[in-house]
Structure 1
Amino acid sequence: MQGFKDFIMRGNLIELAVAFIMGAAFNSVVQSFTNIVLSLISLVLGGPPNFDDWQPGGIPFGPFVTQLVGFVLVAAVVYFALVLPVNKLREHMDTTKEEEASAATEAELLTEIRDLLASNKV
């Protein structure tokens, strides 16, 4: 029983559960945005992109292509609306932390130089 409790309370399992729940909640946002993009595409094309009737050589590839287009649109929305801004924010935060760390290092070096110079004057 203790092993099961340790498994359930493991940090990465809880993080995964939270990520799954957040992903499910975010699904409606992504679907709404995808519908907006599809409606804009249908204004340009004169109708929604639908390849369901496409059957080259009698093989029904159309529904697959339609789903593939939808997947690519969802992936683009997630990338440009979520991944790209978060990566930019992380880069900015990392740069700021490195600058703070290097500033502290410079101050320490200057203190050491001062102390060495003071000890040489005696």
Structure 2
Amino acid sequence: MQGFKEFILRGNVVELAVAVVIGTAFTNIVTQIVEGLINPLIAAIAGQSDFSDVELGIFKIGLVIGAIINFLIIAAVVYFAMVMPMAKFKERQAKRRGTTEEAAKETDVDVLQDIRELLRQQARTAPPATTQQ
């Protein structure tokens, strides 16, 4: 039970729960904007009374286009409202600390090369292995 308690009380779990709740509420707002403003505009251009009724043969292409528009709007807002400002914030923090982000990053290849060199050094300094019969 202690392990479960530690898992639940970790900051990441709480942050993830908050993100899901906020994301769900935000999705509803964007869906209403798409359905109330954008779909009628595109439907008027297409000559339909309701964008969801736009069909291509037997396929309700309007529903698919609405879902794509909804996704693109959500992705744009997330990028411009969250991702880009956070990247700028991290960049300013790195400048204030006197480090550049490129200098602070260490690739997986660099880490693996460092490990290889350490293993080589240990192999050179280790006493020879004796075989038992």
Q: TM-score range by the shorter chain?
A: 0.5 to 0.7
Could you list the structure 1 runs, at least 4 aligned residues long, displaced by more than 6 angstroms after superposition: none
Alpha-carbon spacing, 1:85–1:51, altered in 2? closer, same or farther (3 Å): same
Helix, strand or coil at the partner of 2:53:
coil
Q: Which has the higher helix share?
A: 1
Gaps of 5+ in 2: 99-133
Where in structure 2 are the equivalents of 1:1-122 lying within 5 Å?
Answer: 1-35=1-35, 36-47=37-48, 48-51=51-54, 54-55=57-58, 62-63=59-60, 65-102=61-98
Of 78-87 and 24-33, deviating more is 78-87
Alpha-carbon spacing, 1:29–1:4, altered in 2? closer, same or farther (3 Å): same
Cα distance in 2, alignment partners of residues 90 and 24 from structure 1: 21
How far is the alpha carbon of 1:13 from its aligned partner? 1.8
Cα distance in 2, alignment partners of residues 86 and 15 from structure 1: 14
Helix, strand or coil at the partner of 1:31:
helix
CA deviations over 1:57-103 (Å, ceiling 9, x no partner)? xxxxx14x44421221111111223313433323433443344344x
CA deviations over 1:20-78 (Å, ceiling 9, x no partner)? 111121122111211211111122222225345723xxxxxx14x44421221111111
Among all aligned residue pairs of Structure 1 and Structure 2, give the percentage whose two residues are the same amino acid: 24
Task: Report the AA paired with residue 80 of structure 1.
Answer: A
Does the aligned pair in 1 maintain the 2:31–2:70 contact within 8 Å? Answer: yes
Give the CA RMSD over aligned residues.
2.6
Does the aligned pair in 1 maintain the 2:43–2:54 contact within 8 Å? Answer: no
Higher-RCO chain (CA-CA 8 Å, sequence separation at least 6) = 1
Does the aligned pair in 1 maintain the 2:27–2:74 contact within 8 Å? Answer: no
Cα distance in 1, alignment partners of residues 41 and 62 from structure 2: 16
Cα distance in 2, alignment partners of residues 29 and 13 from structure 1: 25
Count matched residues. 96
Gaps of 5+ in 1: 56-61, 103-122
TM-score (norm 2): 0.57
